[in-house]
Amino acid sequence: MSTEAPKLSQVEKLKEESQYLKGTIDTELAADTDHFGKDDIQLLKFHGTYQQDDRDKRAELKKTGGGKAFAMMVRCRIPGGRITSDQMLAQLDLCDELGDSTLRITTRQTLQLHGVLKQDLRATINRINEIELSTLAACGDVNRNVMCCPAKRNDQVHRDMVALTDQLVVALAPQTPAYHELWVADPDSGEKTLQGGGPIVEPLYGPRYLPRKFKIGIALPEDNCIDIYTQDLGFLAVVRDEKIIGYNVLVGGSMGNTPANKKTYPALSKRMAFCTPQQAVDVAKAVIKVQRDYGNREDRKLARMKYLVDKWGVEKFRRAVEEYYGQPLEDCTADDVTGFDDHMGWQDQGDGKLSYGLNIENGRLYDNDHRQLKAMMREICRTFGTELRMTGHQSIIVTDVDPGDKDKLIAILKKHNARTTEETSTVRRWSMACVAFPTCGLAVTESERRLPSLIDDLEQPLAKLGLDKERFTIRMTGCPNGCARPYNADIALVGKAREKYTLYVGGGWLGNRLAYIYKDMVPSADLADELIGIMSAFKSNANEGESLGEFCDRIGKDDLAVMAAAAPRP
């Protein structure tokens, strides 16, 4: 296969000339300024950090003629969301000492600090490395945090999935020494690992890295809690006799789109081929190489791998993967997703210990007069000292709890006014929102700060309708980029303009069907009423056993609108 030389986008040139992501970050770090220049901002993403500004302060600063209240977001890479209690304690200290005093669990099972000042960036990333976490490749045009079912189970299947996660992380990590040089090495030691004209590095990625971000997830058919159909590359375990005999490999999922650009769209991944556990890492490398060599480097809006998979069709894409891999792959088995366990509440690990899944609303750990979630987390870590696992729904699992300590854990939750699983309504438990305002530079409206009150407004009507135990996903984002994976949810609220949302319905908690646009530009103030109308229509018209998403998908937009208007309000 051959291609003509593409007309590279600006970011491509920047990456190529960056000396493997070094750029002028070191000079800028030393400069007495409160923000980085635009080229280094792009490179800093690969190092796990984004330059942002407090958007709540923009108007006020404009009035006083000032600039922006700049600060950095710092994202860790935490494969499969596994973290020790000590690492969590250190992250909590960091958010208090150098961040905005909150810690954010993300939709990809990792942690983010917000509000880190430029002058504290090196110390922050350095301290993260000291606790044996990393921010390298948490963002940027590389393979990002690998998602894996976070359930702790004493069985070979879960152990094998964790092992594959770790193998992928090692095999696909960027090799550039710039990261170590900038953030980890002692600046006074004179230790320099990347001199001009140094050895060629990045055997997998090359000097331009990938055309765009790249995401991998590993799931079980009965437990698609990492949303495999939204990943660029998904490994769906094929289990026989309690052993993983291989994986169905899915390619080309991703949520991001720009409504004004009709060439962009959210897409679910396609089933490509089957591989054995021994083949998985090399198959992942082959997929990455195909995207590296044939992905779009001219237009970043069309650079995600889904566009290549769709342009070629999955068969041609598979042949290219097989060519890079070096031999043909078998066809997928019939195994597909059948369930989704959010792992909340008590679960038996099978080794005499229990896990407790704790819903953290929109992933934000904070302390205020109502709830003290940071203090709660600290006490859990100090009391139990066990491994924690972040879920793909922005929540956290406390593992390895002795059955005799159940009450002790619940008492810590209650002491700090956290909701236990029993106290969390089903609708809240299955909802999530992206960050959006005030830190996200791309937000057009509220998300994390809007969803909780919307859920408050839904709880009573749902109970009156007898739907308080009904499981469906509500996902909100502050713009169409889709960071809370809205487009395959039962209900999605996607920010379209200030205080206005596009309302999607018809996806599902299984994650294997795309939602459709039900109404556009719905005012924030009307959201609760719109949703109650849909749920009333569902209550009155759904078939036995039909889920909300299935119902909306079957009925279609027009009939749903008629039914929702006619349905009695609770």
* Binding letters toward ligand SF4, positions 97-136, x by CB under 6 A: ----------------------------------------
Is 479 catalytic? The answer is yes
Q: Which residues, 6+ apart, have CB-to-CB distance to 476 below 8 Å? A: 431, 432, 433, 434, 447, 450, 451, 454, 484, 486, 492, 493, 494, 495, 501
Residue numbers 338-367 binding ligand SRM by CB under 6 A: 363
CB-facing half-sphere around the CA of 531: CA atoms within 13 A? 32
Binding mask 154-183 for ligand SF4 (x = CB under 6 A): ------------------------------
For residue 215, indicate whether it is catalytic.
Answer: yes
Indicate which single residue of 482, 507, 533, 549 sits in contact with ligand SRM (rule: CB under 6 A): 482
Quote the least distance from Cβ 107 to ligand SRM, whole Å: 4
Out of 15, 45, 212, 215, the active site residue is: 215
CB 234 within 8 A of CB 216: yes
- Residue 479 binds which of ligand SRM, ligand SF4, none (CB < 5-8 A, kind-dependent): ligand SF4
Mark residues 44-83: x for contact with ligand SRM by CB under 6 A, - for none: ------x-x--------------------x-x--------
Residue 438 makes contact with ligand SF4 by CB under 6 A: no
Least distance between ligand SF4 and beta carbon 404 (Å): 41
Report the residue number, 48 or 482, with the smaller CB distance to ligand SF4.
482
Q: Among the candidate windows 87-95, 157-165, 342-350, 475-483, which touches ligand SRM by CB under 6 A?
A: 475-483
> Is 219 within 8 Å of 502 (Cβ atoms)?
no
Active site residue 243: no
DSSP secondary structure code for residue 365 in this structure: E
477 binds, among ligand SRM, ligand SF4, none (CB under 5 to 8 A by kind): ligand SF4
Q: In the stretch 469-498, what mask flags binding to ligand SF4 with x, by CB under 6 A?
A: --------xxx-xxx---------------
Structure tokens of 176?
């550039």
Instruction: Count CA within 13 A, CB hemisphere, residue 259.
Output: 14
DSSP-assigned letters across all residues of 52-93? EE-GGGHHHHHHTT----EEEEEE-B-GGGEE-HHHHHHHHH
Residue 143: closest CA among 125, 165, 124, 116: 165
Binders of ligand SRM in range 395-434 (CB under 6 A): 434
For position 561 contacting ligand SF4 by CB under 6 A, the verdict is no
Query: Torsion angle of alpha carbons 564, 431, 212, 441, nearest 10°?
Result: 90
Beta bridge partners, 216, equal 233
Give 79 or 246: the residue with its C-beta nearer to ligand SRM.
79
Q: What backbone torsions phi and psi does residue 390 show, to the nearest 5 degrees?
A: -85, 145
Catalytic choice (148, 275, 483, 552):
483
46, 140 Cβ separation under 8 angstroms: yes
DSSP string, 368-386: -SS-BHHHHHHHHHHHH--
Residue positions annotated with a catalytic role: 75, 144, 213, 215, 434, 440, 479, 483
Binding-site ranges for ligand SF4 (CB under 6 A): 434-436, 440, 442-443, 447, 477-479, 481-483
